[in-house]
């Protein structure tokens, strides 16, 4: 079934726009920009609303996270959009930055925005695109963690996986959820390093054989001298 409404979750206001909890806003804003769609505040729906040339609705609730379900319920009810035709994009503590996953329904793991949407729609059947933002360190509250700005390295990883999600978003919108999952959930392996050829050893240079030193042969004593020694000199 095709998607008719894409909802990005976050908190309105300058102080929240760069915090982890606004990962859903980041993706929807980039998608709207790529499609040339202006998101305009609509008081009737209490949200920023846009519509693509193909008829896809884009929604960013402006009610703060805990009341995200109200704008979703009002717009979906007004245009008769079923829960299974809705894709909600949100931050996910269970995944590291750089990981994104698509699923339908399931537990909301304490996410207040999802909790309110499920209550208002009386259904868990909407689709969820979960953008990993990582877990806080032991002893820290998740509520505080998601309201902080991620450091540059984490933000880079989140931006990279948003790029990956945007590449497969047309498949999700068309209703090819399995195909989108196959692409989105496949980890890209880094290219293998080039194989090094074993170094060829240069042949060892053999030193030319050195000539052996000449042996000195002692001259034999003269006979005359020898006889003189034995018999004395002739007078």
Of 138 and 18, more confident: 18
Span 6-56, pLDDT tens digits: 999 999 999 999 999 999 999 999 999 999 999 999 999 999 999 999 999
Q: What is the DSSP letter of 214?
A: P
Let me know: does 161 contact 36? Beta carbons within 8 Å: no
The order of strands in the sheet holding 100-104 is 40-42, 47-51, 57-61, 5-8, 86-92, 127-132, 100-104
Of 211 and 7, more confident: 7
* Whole-number CA gyration radius for the chain: 41
The mean pLDDT of the chain is: 88
d(CA 175, CA 168): 11
pLDDT higher than threshold 50 for residue 187: yes
Let me know: does 120 contact 72? Beta carbons within 8 Å: yes
Quickly state the pLDDT bin for 141 (edges 50, 70, 90).
confident
Span 111-124, pLDDT tens digits: 999 999 999 999 99
User: Which of 36, 35, 32 is closest to 24 using CA atoms?
Assistant: 32
Residue ranges of alpha helices (H) inside 64-217 are: 69-78, 112-121, 142-145, 152-174, 177-184
The answer regarding whether domain 5-19+35-184 maps to CATH 3.40.50.1470 reads yes
Quickly state the pLDDT bin for 190 (edges 50, 70, 90).
very low
The residues that are catalytic are 21
d(CA 124, CA 106): 7
Helix (H, G, I), strand (E, B) or coil at 129: strand
Question: What contacts 227, CB < 8 A, 6 or more positions away?
Answer: none
What pLDDT is stored for residue 107 in this prediction? 86
pLDDT higher than threshold 80 for residue 191: no
Half-sphere exposure of 75 (CA within 13 A, CB side): 27
């Amino acid at each position: 079934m095709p998607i008719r409404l894409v909802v990005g979750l976050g908190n309105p206001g300058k102080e929240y726009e760069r915090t982890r909890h606004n990962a859903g806003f980041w993706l929807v804003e980039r998608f709207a920009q790529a499609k040339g769609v202006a998101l305009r505040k609509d008081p009737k729906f209490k949200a920023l609303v846009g519509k693509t040339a193909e008829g896809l609705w884009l929604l960013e609730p402006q009610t703060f996270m805990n009341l995200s379900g109200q704008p979703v319920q009002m717009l979906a009810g007004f245009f008769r959009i079923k829960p299974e035709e809705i894709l909600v994009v949100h931050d996910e503590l269970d995944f590291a930055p750089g990981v994104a996953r698509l699923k339908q329904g399931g537990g909301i793991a304490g996410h207040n925005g999802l909790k309110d949407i499920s209550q208002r729609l009386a259904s868990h059947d909407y689709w969820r695109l979960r953008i990993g933002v990582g877990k806080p360190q032991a002893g820290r509250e998740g509520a505080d963690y998601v309201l902080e700005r991620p450091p540059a390295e984490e933000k880079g990883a989140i931006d990279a996986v948003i790029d990956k999600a945007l590449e497969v978003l047309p498949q999700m919108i068309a209703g090819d959820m399995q195909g989108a999952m196959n692409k989105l959930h496949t980890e890209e392996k880094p290219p293998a390093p080039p194989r090094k050829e074993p170094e060829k050893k240069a042949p060892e240079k053999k030193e030319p054989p050195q000539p052996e030193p000449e042996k000195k042969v002692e001259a034999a004593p003269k006979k005359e001298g020898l006889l003189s020694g034995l018999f004395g000199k002739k007078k």
